[in-house]
């Protein structure tokens, strides 16, 4: 299935912490990243892809367009999705992650904005975030899914028609016709790029062209 990347704007991470960030000894355990789509109309989200960097749990909330009158609502679409099975150890810490719409808790239509809430309970890691965030929506359906008619040829219903007697032998006719096709195809494929250098069009010359030469 094809997908199309949606241009998005990822805001800076905001740490949730009690006390002053700079003076406090403890490191924050929760980060919030807002993602907006300034240049896109509300779209149906297909996939979220990112590279983890020491985030243990991920919650995603989505703001969806409902109608023109009521203000858009925030809905949690993913709750405490585990990115690192053990927050104290490396496993899953730097993996690429894809989250599809069927993994979400709610319908992902008409998305206006996303908010990623990152949690890392372990104090072992000095920082955590997600990188290379990319949002995809569903692309146009691939057009050539209908099979050409010749692929299922000859039709079973056409097959049993009894052939007239006195018809030329089809297999020999076919063999000659295929040879002729191959010869033509060979000439079509072999062409030289060398030109002989004619400047005339149907035997006439362009006056401007002549005056320049």
Q: Dig out the tokens for 153 from the structure.
A: 């040829």
Q: Dig out the tokens for 3 from the structure.
A: 């997908």
Stretch that binds other proteins, among 55-63, 88-96, 113-121, 152-160 (CB under 8 A): 152-160
Q: Measured from the CB of residue 73, what is the shortest distance to other proteins in angstroms?
A: 48
Query: Which C-beta is closer to other proteins: that of 131 or that of 200?
Result: 200
Task: Decide: 33 and 119 in contact? Cβ < 8 Å.
Answer: no
Q: Measured from the CB of residue 41, what is the shortest distance to other proteins in angstroms?
A: 34
Query: Applying CB under 8 A, which of residues 106, 183, 209, 210 lies at the interface with other proteins?
Result: 183
Task: Decide: 44 and 112 in contact? Cβ < 8 Å.
Answer: no
Alpha carbon 28 to chain centroid, angstroms: 34
Distance CA 14, CA 204 (A): 73
Stretch that binds other proteins, among 4-12, 24-32, 156-164, 205-213 (CB under 8 A): 156-164
Return the sign of the alpha-carbon dihedral for residues 11, 13, 18, 23. negative
Q: Measured from the CB of residue 209, what is the shortest distance to other proteins in angstroms?
A: 15
Query: Applying CB under 8 A, which of residues 9, 44, 66, 181 lies at the interface with other proteins?
Result: 181
Query: Applying CB under 8 A, which of residues 7, 38, 172, 207 lies at the interface with other proteins?
Result: 172
Binding residues for other proteins, total number by CB under 8 A:
40
For position 178 contacting other proteins by CB under 8 A, the verdict is yes
Task: Name the burial class of residue 62, with classes exposed (0-12), middle (13-18) and buried (19+) by CB atoms within 10 angstroms of its CB.
Answer: buried
Q: Dig out the tokens for 141 from the structure.
A: 């359906």
Query: Which C-beta is closer to other proteins: that of 69 or that of 153?
Result: 153
């Amino acid at each position: 299935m094809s997908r199309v990347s949606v241009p998005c704007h990822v805001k800076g991470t905001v740490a949730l912490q009690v006390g002053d960030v700079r003076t406090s000894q403890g490191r924050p355990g929760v980060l919030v990243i807002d993602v907006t789509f300034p240049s896109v109309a509300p779209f149906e989200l297909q996939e979220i892809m990112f590279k983890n960097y020491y985030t243990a749990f991920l919650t995603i909330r989505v703001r969806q367009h409902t109608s023109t009158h009521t203000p858009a609502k925030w809905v949690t679409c993913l709750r405490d999705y585990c990115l690192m099975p053990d927050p104290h150890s490396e496993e899953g810490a730097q993996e690429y992650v894809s989250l599809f719409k069927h993994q979400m808790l709610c319908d992902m239509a008409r998305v206006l904005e996303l908010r990623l809430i990152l949690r890392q309970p372990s104090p072992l890691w000095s920082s955590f975030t997600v990188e290379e965030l990319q949002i995809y929506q569903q692309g146009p359906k691939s057009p050539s899914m209908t099979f050409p008619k010749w692929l299922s040829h000859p039709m079973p219903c056409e097959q049993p028609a009894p052939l007239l007697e006195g018809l030329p032998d089809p297999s020999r006719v076919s063999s000659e016709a295929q040879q002729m096709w191959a010869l033509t195809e060979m000439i079509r494929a072999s062409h030289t790029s060398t030109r002989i250098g004619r400047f005339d069009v149907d035997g006439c010359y362009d006056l401007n062209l002549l005056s320049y030469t």
